[in-house]
Amino acid sequence: MDIVLSGIRSTGQLHLGNYFGSLRNFVKMQHDARCFFFIADYHSLTTHPDPKMLHGNVKNVLTEYLAAGLDPEVATIYVQSDVPQIAELSLLLSMHAYVGELERTASFKEKIRKHPDNINAGLLNYPVLMAADILIHRATRVPVGKDQEQHLEMTRRFARRFNQMYGVEYFPESMPYNFGQELVKIPGLDGSGKMGKSEGNGLFLVDSDEVIRKKVMRAVTDAGPTEPNTPMSEPIANLFTILKAVSSPDTVQYFTDKYNACEIRYGDLKKQLAEDIIKVVAPIREKIDAIKADDKYLHEVVGDGGRRARESASRTLADVREIMGIKPF
């Protein structure tokens, strides 16, 4: 059986893109494999979040994961910093990671470009820490988006290098987990590109019905088709992509026909879209509110998840120490 691991940085709130892009698939996946889901709070420290905010951010993501349907009885859900074995494995793996290859990582180069005032060693080591996250459970599959593919490739390289160096077949080749057909990429409401936290174009799982309606009504459109069967401009195609994710096939067909006949009224499309988004988001939001108020439950979830994650992590770390020649007296 596959061992699947998924991590998310504890920055900000989850949006509809996270839901359709991963969360919804995770809910199914948790029954088909041995799953670990964790919140990468060590990783989020590279950008120096306000210490007063960090815990709240972790709590938000944890709460939203649970509200979306991740089941702590089925999957192991934990906070990265509750498993210090990850930090030790990262240290050990870093001995075989070359500064040159770390400097050439696309995400690192981008950080240098965007934040030349904060090029810290944690950023350089980011792929090593991520490899440690994955290899600490010897995960065979990792669901990642495009932006994380290179990191996963580096994980495989570090694993292979370790195995070769010590003449063992210890770490697996961690491969991407592919959702195939079920993967829906949700675009933003600003006409181009994908929905993101920082882009200001997101619909969040905590948004109220009113906020959702406002955001959708403000979404970018165009002047409307003037000839039958005009190909859709990007902003319109984006609205239809979201519609396909949240609405019934009949609704999608109805508006597609209207568009093709040049009879579409974007106001009507947006109204319908907002209501159908609300049907997806409102039940999750209600669960978020309930879970967020239940500190005892959250304490139990991470307590139990952390214990199980540490068990798995300690086994790996004991093996790695032995393989590298660290022995108790």
Residue numbers of the site for ligand TRP (CB under 6 A)?
5-9, 40, 43, 130, 133-134, 142, 144, 148, 151
In the set 28, 59, 185, 194, the catalytic residue is 194
- Can 194 be counted among the known catalytic residues? yes
- Report CA torsion sign: 123, 51, 287, 36: positive
Smallest gap, in angstroms, from Cβ of residue 68 to ligand TRP?
A: 17
Smallest gap, in angstroms, from Cβ of residue 159 to ligand TRP?
A: 13
What are the backbone dihedrals phi and psi of residue 7, each rounded to the nearest 5 degrees, phi first?
Answer: -125, 150
Nearer to ligand TRP, 108 or 162 (CB): 108
Nearer to ligand TRP, 142 or 288 (CB): 142
- Can 52 be counted among the known catalytic residues? no
Q: Cβ distance 202 to 25 under 8 Å?
A: no
Nearer to ligand TRP, 66 or 135 (CB): 135
- Three-state SS letters, 291-318: HHCCHHHHHHHHHHHHHHHHHHHHHHHH
User: How far is residue 126's CA from residue 128's CA, in Å, rounded to a whole number?
Assistant: 5
Q: Which residue lies nearest ligand TRP, judged by its C-beta?
A: 7
Q: How far is CA 71 from CA 117, 128, 268, 281, in A?
A: 41, 29, 37, 18
Smallest gap, in angstroms, from Cβ of residue 72 to ligand TRP?
A: 19
Q: Is 162 helix (H, G, I), strand (E, B) or coil?
A: helix
Nearer to ligand TRP, 8 or 67 (CB): 8
Smallest gap, in angstroms, from Cβ of residue 38 to ligand TRP?
A: 8
Smallest gap, in angstroms, from Cβ of residue 152 to ligand TRP?
A: 8
Q: With b meaning 16 or more CB within 10 Å and e meaning fewer, what string describes 277-301?
A: bbebbeebbebbeebbeeeeebeeb
In the set 109, 185, 197, 287, the catalytic residue is 197
Nearer to ligand TRP, 277 or 313 (CB): 313
Nearer to ligand TRP, 142 or 219 (CB): 142
User: How far is residue 193's CA from residue 187's CA, in Å, rounded to a whole number?
Assistant: 6
Task: Give the bridge partners for 187, in sequence order.
Answer: 194
**Residue among 206, 269, 226 at smallest CA distance from 16:** 206
**Single-letter code of the amino acid located at 150:** Q
User: How far is residue 287's CA from residue 52's CA, in Å, rounded to a whole number?
Assistant: 25
User: How far is residue 164's CA from residue 324's CA, in Å, rounded to a whole number?
Assistant: 12
Smallest gap, in angstroms, from Cβ of residue 220 to ligand TRP?
A: 27
With residue 250 as reference, give the H or E element that holds it. Answer: helix 249-260
In the set 59, 111, 270, 292, the catalytic residue is 111
Known catalytic residues are 111, 194, 197
